[in-house]
Amino acid sequence: MTAPMTYERTTSATRTIPRVRTRPVRLPFDDEGIPKHWLAGNATATAVSNGVNLLFPYGERFFVRSVKHYLPMLEARVDESPEGQRRAELLQQIKGFFGQEGRHAREHERFFDILRGQGYELDGFLARFEGAFGRLERITPPVLHLAATAAGEHFTALMAGNAFRDLPMFDHAHPLMRDLMLWHAAEEIEHKAVAFDVLTEAVPSPVLRYLVRVSGMAVAGAFLLYWWTQGTKTLLAQDGVDRRRALEEGERFQALRRALGLSDRRIVRDVFLRGIASYLRPSFHPWEVEDADVAATFLADFEARRLA
């Protein structure tokens, strides 16, 4: 018998899972001048945000490849039973997930061209990052790719949750960047359980699955932390911001956050430590954090403004 699908709604009468939907988003990057320090006029905050942006397109295409590998397995297990029907539903969610990640990757790559126009040289960094990523992918098995994807999605969902708690901060961002970040964040919330649920199907034994899940977290966490730091450092160096000024700018950003009634942002604590701690609980499921409503609220407004 396979383990129960963890996104089943029967466990909580109040839990509703959003349908993962692909939206035909194409942001008007060509029409709007985005300033170099688009986040609060702050060099450090912008570099940290741009730094993780550099990882998205390649990372998201890896996520899609990792899940795609398991489509035949899932399709073969669709039947008339309740479990078979949940798999059919998961396949629908996966379709939306592929569409969403494909569009995120494309829009972030279009933003790369804005960065290039601002004078940044990205290709050296991207070649190093993608080279390391590709080598790791070649020497590891598909189930670890899937587990790393589930963990990567946990981190992006956590960052997305933080973004929506930080909404006042986005009043200090360029409006187009605000939309890019929050659209991406909202869809990350919408599809946050897809890879996790595929992993549940792929590894039916709970004990083995937990081991695989933790291994995926170890790889994804270390890789994300290392390359996010490298990307941020690369951009700051090209911006001519030395360590002392980067720290000063960072403090200025925290002061602005406090003035807006937000707590200081410590990424290692708020994303990595909290993310790992919650993920290590054997009973963890992405939808134990019910933040579908903030995502839906933003997306309704976004669709009316950008997709009408």
Residues that bind Fe ion (CB under 5 A): 60, 101, 104, 153, 156, 188
| Helical pair 142-165 and 194-202, crossing angle rounded to 10 deg | 150
Nearer to Fe ion, 237 or 307 (CB): 307
The minimum distance between CB 112 and Fe ion, in angstroms, equals 15
Q: Given the complex with Fe ion, which of 170 and 253 has the nearer CB atom?
A: 170
Residue nearest to Fe ion (CB): 104
CB of 210 to Fe ion, least distance (A): 22
For residues 66 and 156, which CB has a smaller minimum distance to Fe ion in the complex? Answer: 156
Q: Which residues lie closer than 8 Å to 281 by C-beta, 6 or more apart? A: none
Give min distance, CB of 106 to Fe ion, in A: 11
Tell me how far, at minimum, the Cβ of 7 lies from Fe ion, in Å: 15
81-116 as b/e, with b when 16 or more CB fall inside 10 Å?
Answer: eebeebbebbeebbebbbbbbebbbebbeebbebbe
Per-residue CA distances from 174 to 66, 107, 118, 165, 304 (Å): 34, 16, 15, 18, 19
8 A C-beta contact, residue 179 and residue 27: yes
**Residue whose CB is less far from Fe ion, 188 or 249:** 188
Q: What share of the chain is helix, strand, coil (3-state, %, to 5)?
A: 70, 0, 30
Q: What CA dihedral angle connects 230, 47, 160 and 92, to 10 degrees?
A: -70
Least Å distance, CB 133 to Fe ion, is 16
105 vs 236 by CB, closer to Fe ion: 105
